[in-house]
Amino acid sequence: MRPTPAITRAARPRRTLRRRTLWTAVLLVLVLAIGTVLASVYVGWQLTHPARLALSESPENYGLAFEDVQFASRTQEVNLKGWFLPSVSEPAKMNIIMAHGYRKNRLQADAEALQLAKALVEQGYNVLMFDFRNSGESEGTLTSVGYLEKYDLLGAIDWMNAQHPGKIALHGFSMGATTALTAAADEPSVAGVVADSPFNQLTAYLKENLPVWSHLPNIPFTPLILGILPPLTGIDPDQVDGLGAVDRIYPRPILFIHSVDDHSVPYRNSESLWSKHKDRFELWQVTGADHVKTHAVYPQEYEAKVIGFYDKLAEQQ
């Protein structure tokens, strides 16, 4: 039996309302999804294209002689600028190349890198401080958190080997510390490394700590950003692998420096790297210092520790 016209007219508005509610919900989900993806793209782009930090000091402020230098990344696509600080004594004991952290420049001001360089120069070491790509005064528009910076550091090693032949050590801070590990793994001319507050693997670190840098909730943004970054920038975070690098550096020595109170890169990152080869690696654990601020908090102890490490390295045949 067919329904009466009255019942049919009453059912139609209900069906229309349900359809409208369904389409509104679908549209809302679509808008939220698109908004989440766009936000992830924007944040990912900002993280890999940070604003440059201008140089605010010069070696002149510390009474240091220096030379402005320029050299190409080993991949040749960008030119990098820095300072060469000669040892106060000749011949120099060894050459030390510093590598700065993410969003920093050659000064690494929070670690008082120029003050540290002064101590090293006065103890008979040549020091090279330079800006990674898209940092300080160097060329480039992309910061890759160690992926391409490795080739910048290898370019610095090439320059040092050409201009001041001799034994080389690397001294890195944060991203620069991990980059020093991956560069040393590829470059046998590096005699040893000081790694101050490194992360052990970029992908694992970002999965756990990206909200610290993105200021977005871990879910859903971290997986989206990590999925978007490689095709967007050409960066492969899996290649920034300190855990794999230390196996290739061994038996060359590494001194890890890390504070248990580091709020940016957890202490266990250095602990996991050091524990792979305790017979040749050292770990200096400190307290009361935040990320890469061990030298700022304990300057005399820091300088004595690293100079002792470098002196031992310089004496080795």
How confident is the model at residue 34, as a pLDDT?
Answer: 65
Structural contact between residues 292 and 261, judged by C-beta atoms closer than 8 angstroms: no
Residue 275, C-beta contacts closer than 8 angstroms, at least 6 positions apart: none
- The pLDDT value recorded for residue 42 is 64
Q: Residue 247: what residue type?
A: D
Query: Strand 281-286 to strand 254-259: parallel, antiparallel, or no bridges (unpaired)?
Result: parallel
- pLDDT at residue 223, rounded to an integer: 83
Backbone torsion region of residue 236, taken as left when φ is above 0, otherwise alpha when ψ lies between -120 and 50, otherwise beta: beta
The reported pLDDT for the residue numbered 235 is 86
pLDDT averages per 10-residue partition of the chain, 317 residues: 53 67 60 56 72 95 97 96 96 97 97 98 98 97 95 98 97 98 97 98 89 74 80 87 98 98 96 97 98 98 98 91
Q: What six digits make up the tokens of 165?
A: 């032949």
pLDDT score at 1: 47
As a whole number of Å, the end-to-end CA separation of the chain is: 103
Best CA proximity match to 215, nearest among 8, 23, 39 = 39
The reported pTM is: 0.88
Beta strands in the chain (DSSP E): 67-72, 79-85, 94-99, 125-130, 168-173, 190-196, 254-259, 281-286
Q: What is the DSSP letter of 175?
A: H
According to the model, what pLDDT value does residue 217 have?
74
Surface-to-core class of residue 37, CB atoms within 10 Å of its CB (0-12 exposed, 13-18 middle, 19+ buried): middle
**Boundaries of every domain in the chain:** 60-201+240-315
Per-residue confidence (pLDDT) for residue 191, from 0 to 100:
98
Label the pairing between strands 125-130 and 79-85. Answer: antiparallel
Q: What is the pLDDT of residue 220?
A: 77
Does the domain made of 60-201+240-315 have the CATH classification 3.40.50.1820?
A: yes
